[in-house]
Amino acid sequence: MERKTIYRNLIRTFLCGLIFFAVTVPFRELFSLMPVTEVRPASALPPAFGLLFGFWGALGTALGNLMADILSGYSLGLCLTGFAAQFLYGYIPFKLWHAFGSRGAEQDFPKLDTARHVVKYLFIVAIDSLMMAGLLGFLMEGFGISQFLSTTTFVLLLNNFDFCILLGMPVLILVSVTGISVDVQKGKVQSQRGLLSVWGGLFLLCAFTLTEALRPGLLSVWPFAAAAFLLFFAAAVWQPTGQVLKERKGRHPLSMNEKIILIFLILGIIAGAIAGNAAYHGFLTQEAASVDLWNRVYSYVAISLNLFFLISLVFLWYMETNITVPLERLSAVTRYYAEDRSQAIDHEKIIEVCEPLCKKKTEVGNLARSFVKMAADLETYMDNLTQVTAEKERIGAELDVATHIQASMLPCIFPPFPERTEFDLSASMRSAKEVGGDFYDFFLVDEDHLAVVIADVSGKGVPAALFMVIAKTLIKDQAQTGKSAAEVFDEVNEQLCESNDEGLFVTAWLGILEISTGHMEFANAGHNPPAICTSEGEFTYLKMRPGFVLAGMEGMHYRTGTFDFQPGDTLYLYTDGVTEATDLKEELYGEERLKNILDENKQAAPAELIKSVKEDVDAFAGEAPQFDDITMLALKVLGQNHYTTKSSQSSGIEDAPLLGI
């Protein structure tokens, strides 16, 4: 045995003995009923400590009793005999608990959470109390104190049994809640020879009692008592084959049964006090010695308590059968549903558990039927969820394909025209969903004209993406015919308005640059104003009155605006996903922040400029989700030598007034 284990067991022994001694002495001094016994609540402690701590608990209470006997002035023989009897009284319950009803099964923890365990405990303490009363009766007759069969023996029996109920049961229940480690038999019971010794001892006691009752003086009590003592001792120290001790933490939450038991124990104490008061006043009128009076009161209270406990046990069995056990089964079902699992829920198993309870015509039956219906509904729901998940995965895969298709439709190779040194441009789009409604495009109409376009389709997702494809295709087709920007929008607007049942529309900005001169014609269909930076100045917004959105109304006409670029000038186009980006406080990014970051990077190349804006928007938004597509396009005019012929011209905007509807 390890040193730590020995130390722990010695501590247990000392504490058990100290508690027993502290409870015994005051009652022995103040509530003595007869020469060798008293009102003795401490009689509940040896079986309780023995059940919890085995040999060491029984040894501790036996030592505590020995110290109390010595303090009371008992003879050495009586003290030593009482020590042995007290040890058996505490250790036998531990052995019987792990023997009764445990053949071929793992030993269970000594707890009182079911009616079966309560009956088992009562049966064990009844045997233990009967043994203790018989053994003490034998000792008292042997020492000439009283007869073996007497009121004293009967009071001893009731004292031990009733206090094992009133105090022993709460001790076991409360210890299981505190989590104090206890000793439990480990392994399966393979031998019942110790148990046979117990039954043999009881048989001898019963045989002697009947013989003495029918033929007084025929047999001597000593041989039977000695045989019973030895048989009980053998039962106490015998270790069944294949069993060892293990330590087990006893902590567990109070079950409903244990709470009911505690309530009945409290009610029993109250009932006992009332019965004792009534008995005392009833017997007080009769002429009797003080000891006889208290013996009668004590016997009356004990019998009343036992009747109350018997009724309580029947009620507990009824509650367990009809309420607590069904509720615990249903509670286990809910825990089964709630726990994390890697395997699918077995609904058939749940229904199998609940179906026997559905036959009850009580609230428990209604609850069980609800559980069965819930299990069936959940199974249907899980099947539907599996189908929906599969469909969602299929749609997700299709959206991934659509995302790739949309991305492939937008120019994504930069620089796009490496052989052209007159300009540099870059663009970027980040969708708020898998597919977006924004788009950008740039293409050469001919060798001397470059078209750039940015647009934003109302709505999000697949419908907007499809409408975007149509609008992008129409704009490019019309622009490549050589039409002006306004004429392109006039024609595209008419075509988009046809069969536009969904009511979608497009804001767009289209500019066509004459590469050789730096002259650009543009048209704005309800889009955000672009920002332009001259080579020597800062970015300014092109505040031209925009035209009406595309696909908004038939018969709309658009006017052309112009701008003359000088070498080093930059054009920045964007959608409202940039300026309307929000942070966690729902504050807008805004045009002012956009202008500031543009001015900080006014000398940067288009690709670097777009990257800086994107990083600034992301830093501003933080963890806030993106609600709109973010699209940008930047064009920097590098110019040619023949631009110098127009050096006397200043960059300027010809603002054509918006044509009315």
Please give the pLDDT value at position 409. 81
pLDDT at position 189 is 45
Query: In this predicted structure, what is the pLDDT of residue 294?
Result: 63
**Helix extents (H) in 189-255:** 193-214, 221-237
CA 613/CA 427 separation, integer angstroms: 12
The answer to whether 460 and 432 are in contact (CB under 8 A) is yes
Nearest to 232 by CA among 256, 208, 196, 207: 196
Q: How far apart are CA 25 and CA 42, in angstroms?
A: 9
> Hey, which CATH number is domain 415-654, 3.40.640.10, 3.60.40.10, 3.40.50.720, 3.40.50.1780?
3.60.40.10
Q: How many CB atoms lie within 10 A of CB 223?
A: 11
Residue 370, classed as helix, strand or coil, is helix
Domain layout of the chain by residue ranges = 3-254, 256-338, 340-409, 415-654
Q: In the chain, which residues have pLDDT < 70?
A: 1, 29-39, 100-109, 139-148, 150-151, 179-253, 279-295, 298, 338-347, 399, 402-403, 434-436, 640-661
- This prediction has a pTM of 0.51
What's the pLDDT at 246?
Answer: 53
14, 65, 83, 157, 487 from 21: Cα distances, Å: 10, 6, 13, 21, 110
For residue 332, CA distances in Å to 116, 255, 325 come to 20, 13, 10
Instruction: Specify whether the CB–CB gap between 557 and 486 falls below 8 A.
Output: yes
Measured at the alpha carbon of residue 631, what is the angle toward residues 625 and 633, in degrees to the nearest 5?
150
Task: Report the phi/psi class of residue 203: left, alpha or beta, with left for phi > 0 and alpha for psi in -120 to 50.
Answer: alpha
- The reported pLDDT for the residue numbered 130 is 84
